Amino acid sequence: MAMEAHLHVVFLLVNVIVLGVSGARRETAVGDPGMRRDGLRVAFEAWNFCNEVGQEAPGMGSPRAADCFDLSSSSLKHKVSEADNKLGVGKPFPGLAPGAINNTDLYAVQKELYLGSLCQVEDTPNPWQFWMVMLKNGNYDTTSGLCPRNGKKAPPFGPGRFPCFGKGCMNQPMLFHQQTKLSDGGIMRGSFKGTYDLGSDIGNGLDGISFYEVVWEKKDSNESWVFSHKLKTSKKYPWLMLYLRADATKGFSGGYHYDTRGMLKIVSRNCLKSFFLLNFKANSSHLHRLKLGCTRECV
């Protein structure tokens, strides 16, 4: 049975508490505390079950994209072009390592770093890049031998433990990007959306197919950005995950073994405390809290 979940992220503020001799000192750990900055920075990444790319979806390019802009004189000045977002394996871009150009997994990692360089905001003590929308396909072809076990190549094993409809079940999604626009009413709005069912047309309805959508909107300069998430599974794709991540701006993040770019300009060994307001509208209980890219919890 297909499941659909709606998640509205209304406000987010992350503080890092640094304990010293003179007591606790508070400072923000994120580049855009409260999501109040008019010039939004948001990116998209998609992974398969192995935390890799495997194979790009036809015509979609590498599954990394970004929507970054500054607001100036009632107009938006975008930092990332659609040509940048459509970059796919075999296509060069500034800073691309020679060994990655024909490797789908390494190419995606390098593309994220490149998009980060276009979106980067200089700040103290470190620059930051973007909020990260992460989409993940939980299908796993156990007969493929694609996923390592404990960091080592693992042999194929019999099906049954994980969902998979057959060859190609670990595919990457179709991605359609609505670049952020400023309406006459002063509302800024953009989105990422798509489906894992390759060849499907989401414009003809969503019956029987998977669907995801993340919409961001800001109605007033004094308000925060509102992120609205929709996620629909299907018979072929029963296990999908959609996150809004605040990743570290450099280094490994949230269990992924590649250098990332993100929003957390301070990564502390001390406690991180987050404050946010969520509005859940769902018929599924399989929902995670906002993913902050760390596993330690503070009491």
Q: How many domains does the chain have?
A: 1
Above 60 in pLDDT, residue 290? no
Cβ atoms 196, 240 nearer than 8 A: yes
Q: How many helices (H) and strands (E) does the chain have?
A: 2, 12
Q: What is the pLDDT of residues 225-235, one digit of tens each?
A: 999 999 999 99
Q: Answer whether residue 226 is part of any domain.
A: yes
Q: Answer whether residue 67 is part of any domain.
A: yes
Q: Answer whether residue 35 is part of any domain.
A: yes
Q: Answer whether residue 107 is part of any domain.
A: yes
- Round to whole Å and give the CA distance between 99 and 103: 7
* E-strand stretches of the chain: 4-20, 23-28, 41-47, 64-72, 75-78, 131-137, 174-182, 188-195, 211-218, 226-232, 240-245, 272-282
- Round to whole Å and give the CA distance between 288 and 178: 26
Q: Answer whether residue 38 is part of any domain.
A: yes
pLDDT, residue 19, reads 38
Tell me 289's DSSP state.
Answer: P
More confident site: 9 or 37: 37
Q: Answer whether residue 113 is part of any domain.
A: yes
Query: Residue 174 has which token pair?
Result: 């179709």
Q: What is the pLDDT of residues 162-203, one digit of tens each?
A: 889 988 999 999 999 999 999 988 899 999 999 999 989 999
Q: What is the pLDDT of residues 112-171, one digit of tens each?
A: 999 999 999 999 888 999 999 999 999 998 888 888 766 677 787 776 678 899 889 999
- Round to whole Å and give the CA distance between 228 and 193: 11
Which residue bears the tokens 């495997």?
54
Q: What is the pLDDT of residues 237-253, one digit of tens each?
A: 999 999 888 877 776 66
Where in the sequence is the domain holding 206, given as residue range(s)? 4-148+156-282
Q: Binning pLDDT at 50, 70 and 90, where does residue 13 land? A: very low
Amino acid sitting at position 146? L
The residues near 114 (Cβ < 8 Å, ≥ 6 apart) are: 84, 87, 93, 94, 95, 96
Q: Answer whether residue 55 is part of any domain.
A: yes
Q: Answer whether residue 289 is part of any domain.
A: no
- Please provide the average confidence, as pLDDT, over all residues in the chain: 82
pLDDT, residue 150, reads 63
- Round to whole Å and give the CA distance between 95 and 113: 9
CA-based torsion, 264, 267, 268, 272: positive or negative: positive
pLDDT average, residue stretch 28-51 = 90
Q: How far is CA 158 from the centre of its chain?
A: 31
